[in-house]
Amino acid sequence: KDFRNDVKPNWCPGCGHFSIQAAIQRAAANLDITPEHLAVVSGIGCSGRISGYINSYGFHGVHGRALPIAQGVKLANPELTVIASGGDGDGYAIGMGHTIHAMRRNINMTYIVMDNQIYGLTKGQTSPRSKKGFTTKSTPSGAMEKQVHPMQLALSSGVGFLAQGFSGDLKGIVSMIEQGMQHNGFSLINIFSPCVTYNKINSYDFFKENIVKLEDEEGYDSSNLGMAMQKVIETNGMLTGVIYQDQEPSFTDQIPNFDQNPIVHQDLHLTSAALTELVEEFC
């Protein structure tokens, strides 16, 4: 299966997002998913372009709203493997409400946050993941707010699968995306993805020097919520690997016979004229 298309990404050379695109394509191929059974929904930002760079169904949504669209896609057509993706501004600022409620709702899909700790598309402003004191054009005297900690937030919001990776470790992120896609429920994968143009602090070298790899931590048990929270706090969120996974039923597992008559197979009794009218109403 070839998840490549002929659209050339216009990310800056060296941008961490290239690895994430490649990782999604490899993970889908490794799991024998076909392009017509994969949907990628994105938000706004440099990260948002990813839905156009993968040979699958793609939907480039609006800022912070990739998750409601992706959840709707999965509910309408449970046969699709659904990925939502966006930047840290998309998911942890304007879209934060959706992020928290999607985690506790637990619809079977994967959310990949391309976390570069800055707003890249708009030329480098402080984002919710920028550290306190971070200097950009929008905070010339240093950010006055504390950074958002998505790992602690996810664990306390009922996430069923939580992983964190680094764009500099392609093999690692392919593996965690595969595991997230196979998880029965909502999976959040936060990936440190350096913005080489506007963020000179959170660089490849910075992550290589500061990341703690869970695979090196003897005795770590990703089914233990308390241990996961303790490790996240101990490392100040700078850890990579599968941090937590539970076996809870997904949202739709709790709806009797849900898979037997999905919306995608229902006759909506919509004539071509009625469909045109509906589309025009929203244009």
Q: Enumerate binding residues for ligand SF4 (CB under 6 A).
A: 11-12, 15, 17, 46, 116, 120-121, 195-198
Write down the residue that tokens 């506007």 correspond to: 198
CB of 153 to ligand SF4, least distance (A): 22
Quote the DSSP letter at residue 131.
Answer: P
Collapsed DSSP state (helix, strand, coil) of residue 82 = strand
Pick between residue 116 and residue 222 the one whose CB is nearest to ligand SF4: 116
Task: Yes or no: say if 198 and 205 are a contact pair by the CB < 8 Å rule.
Answer: no
CB of 173 to ligand SF4, least distance (A): 16
Pick between residue 115 and residue 231 the one whose CB is nearest to ligand SF4: 115
The enclosing H or E element of 47 equals: none
CB of 46 to ligand SF4, least distance (A): 3
Task: State the helix-helix crossing angle for 17-30 and 170-182, rounded to 10 degrees.
Answer: 50
The CA-CA-CA angle for residues 278, 282, 283, to 5°, reads 110
Pick between residue 108 and residue 127 the one whose CB is nearest to ligand SF4: 127
Residues 6+ apart with CB under 8 A from 103: 154, 157, 158, 159, 160, 186, 188
Collapsed DSSP state (helix, strand, coil) of residue 198 = coil
Write down the residue that tokens 């143009």 correspond to: 197
Nearest CA among 256, 197, 195, 148 for reference residue 20: 195
Pick between residue 204 and residue 220 the one whose CB is nearest to ligand SF4: 204
CB of 201 to ligand SF4, least distance (A): 13
List strand residue ranges (DSSP E) for 67-153, in order.
81-87, 109-115
Pick between residue 176 and residue 195 the one whose CB is nearest to ligand SF4: 195
Pick between residue 22 and residue 242 the one whose CB is nearest to ligand SF4: 22
CB of 126 to ligand SF4, least distance (A): 14
CB of 15 to ligand SF4, least distance (A): 3
